Amino acid sequence: MAAGSGFGNLFRVTTWGESHGKGVGVVVDGCPAGLSLCEEDIQVYLNRRKPGTSRFTTPRKEDDCVEILSGVFEGKTTGTPISMVVFNKTQRSKDYSEIASYYRPGHADYTYDCKYGFRDYTGGGRSSGRETIGRVAAGAIAAKLLTEMGISVDAYTKSIGPVGIIYENFDLEQRFENAVCMPDAEAAEKAADYLEQCMKESNSSGGVIECSIKGVPAGLGEPCFEKLSANLGKAILSIGAVKGFEIGDGFGVAQSTGLTNNDAFYYDENGEIQKKTNHAGGILGGISDGSEILFRAAIKPTPSIHAAQETVNKSGENISVNIKGRHDPVIVPRAVVVVECMAAITVLDALLVNMSAKVENLKKFYEKL
């Protein structure tokens, strides 16, 4: 669908809202009926992207309280659109004249002006990180349904700047215990030190988010253009700061060989087909193979920094700017839940589409009705 704010085929998500407007929200159309759902289910996910929860996130007070406006009746989804909204506490005030006058480097100010002729210059408008609230609210629903199907989706920080996690220390629960969302307490400390350093230098850092999806049945994803890997890639690359996506061994395959990269199949003790390795990241020919799906996203450094930067204003001048306000020195930790939610939406959509892959299942299904 050409209009840019919708995603998904059968589980269809449409987000709306600007950073400093009245609110941000999402409509989820095509959610199967009968899922238990309440606002708390959503709020738990939104709280994970909330600023002000650590020294590396903006101390602005934003409550981000979600309201479900439709599609749930007597505690269950009805099959009709679920509309959710988070009203903004911080709406437009009157000191944007400066920011309106120039283009911030690394931001979408210039490209929005090119495309639309003007832009909502308050707080980044639609290209703000607050746009992801709708994604997270929708993803919380998808994740809840996946969980009931025995499918888990877990993202975490893999690295920040030069500091990466060590898999020997891996403890998924740990990601909720530190400010950088790392599943490795030791690495988290080092990353925190590195970020302190960045802040002192009025600078910011990039990083890598990794996401693990377990329990996915084999067979999800459509051949050719609707490969599960391609749709995961689009989902993740549609998040503002993402500049790279890789699945399984990813860019590592470029220096690998067939003998190493091919995953050997074998029958396990239960007579189930398994793979000895998982270089493929759980997807073969674009279709899930039943093993863990593992992908990574490269997140760019926060473009808003306090240090002086060169840019242009709309009066035709080359200028130097210092962007005021409080800025997170890193996007990664708050983007973790966004990655997780986009992955959940994508997998659920593939799950729904796959139901009609075989005539056999069609017949069984309608026999029952």
Residues in 60-79 that interact with its own copies by CB under 8 A: 67-71, 73, 76-79
Cα distances (Å, whole numbers) of residue 133 to 59, 139, 230: 17, 10, 23
Report the residue from 115, 176, 193, 324 that binds its own copies according to the rule CB under 8 A.
115
Query: Contact at 8 Å (CB) between 295 and 313?
Result: no
Q: Looking only at Cα atoms, what is the longest distance across the chain?
A: 72
3-class SS at 10?
Answer: coil
Q: Estimate the crossing angle of helix 132-148 against helix 39-49, to 10 degrees.
A: 130
Residue with smaller CB distance to its own copies, 167 or 257: 257
Residues 278-337 that bind its own copies (CB under 8 A): 280-281, 283-290, 298-305, 307, 309-312, 316-318
Shortest reach from residue 26's CB to its own copies, in Å: 9
Nearer to its own copies, 173 or 365 (CB): 365
| Residue 243 interacts with its own copies (CB under 8 A): yes or no | yes
> Does 25 help bind its own copies (rule: CB under 8 A)?
yes
The angle at the Cα of 164, spanning 201 to 199, to the nearest 5 degrees, equals 15
Residue 53 binds its own copies (CB under 8 A): no
How far apart CA 368 and CA 75 sit, in angstroms, is 26
Q: What is the DSSP code (8-state) at residue 302?
A: P
- Using DSSP's 3-state secondary structure scheme, residue 117 falls into coil
- Tell the smallest beta-carbon distance from residue 179 to its own copies (Å): 18
Which C-beta is closer to its own copies: that of 37 or that of 337? 37
Q: What is the DSSP string of 182-210?
A: -S-HHHHHHHHHHHHHHHHTT--B-EEEE
* Residue 173 or 201 with smaller CB distance to its own copies: 201
Binding of residue 270 to its own copies (CB under 8 A) = no
Q: Distance between CA atoms of 207 and 41, rounded to whole angstroms?
A: 28
CB of 290 to its own copies, least distance (A): 7
| 103 touches 304 (CB < 8 A) | no
Q: Is 179 in the site for its own copies (CB under 8 A)?
A: no
Among 263, 293, 335, 336, binds its own copies (CB under 8 A): 263
Select from 7, 45, 56, 156 the one that contacts its own copies (CB under 8 A): 7
Listed ranges 43-51, 57-65, 173-181, 254-262: which one lies at the site for its own copies (CB under 8 A): 254-262
Return the range that interacts with its own copies (CB under 8 A); candidates 16-24, 40-48, 171-179, 184-192: 16-24
- The number of residues making up the chain comes to 369
Confirm if 353 and 228 have CB atoms less than 8 A apart: no
